[in-house]
Structure 1
């Protein structure tokens, strides 16, 4: 039985969504092709009608997830400092901490991206630099934009490594407080 092009695209999108969530929750390298396909109700052999390799899937996940992160973090279009502050508060929240599968791919997959192919790292760099440029324009400082971006991702990584919810909350709250302190002296938009 032949499936329509639309069906194939829908299946590919379901595979990307499911695989991205699994990767952000459990790590990409920990899950095999068969398990990724089983999660969407298909056999492992069907995988190769959508991707030539698991590495190609990972590249597609990185592109998809970082484009969504860019959109959520206000990296597209003009934004003001008030909107950026709201984004930072949400980013450094307990909800984001506890739901890696629904959040930004950088803290969840950063180490795997760093070990990925040059193509995957280039894709990540392109999206990260777009976010950085948007924040730099809003903040009026390239170095401050890099600093805040790094602090946000690092704070989530550190908080997720910890067991104690109260210490996790301290990490997030302290990071948010320090970042807001850096923004206090900036001229308003």
Structure 2
């Protein structure tokens, strides 16, 4: 069960790290979002095929924007300060559909363009999101999941302090389920 939810501080959600800006998605992000979601390497462990039409990315952005309205929270566009470009997305969302027996819990996720891999951006953006979740949203536990073969994502989650507490089967394979309790957050 979720703690008391006060979404008043998510209205203008904006997180900033040393190298990144995490902000709400805008309609103008559609081209970079399509670049991300049409890339087979990015989509390899997602369980859906790469997008083939930019209108699909427009619908994804609209869906995320609706999550902001309905749930007060959703994934955020990640902008690299140095280039000013959207390089992926990261952040928390409220799971409103059951995954692995859980719903109405905060889920951490991230996805980045390959040229941004290996630079610590997933870790940096995830830490900012976890700080927000534990300190601003007062979450007791934050959850995450990753495909069992996605070594990079599983490594990052463990490095962040998440504990694998289960696994479940998706059409494309096994996913690991993770939990991070506030008191265990580094």
Alignment TM-score > 0.5, same fold? no
Tell me the TM-score normalized by structure 2: 0.32
Higher RCO, 1 vs 2 (CA within 8 Å, ≥6 residues apart): 1
Tell me the TM-score normalized by structure 1: 0.32
Larger radius of gyration: 1
Name the one with the larger strand percent. 2
Name the one with the larger helix percent. 1
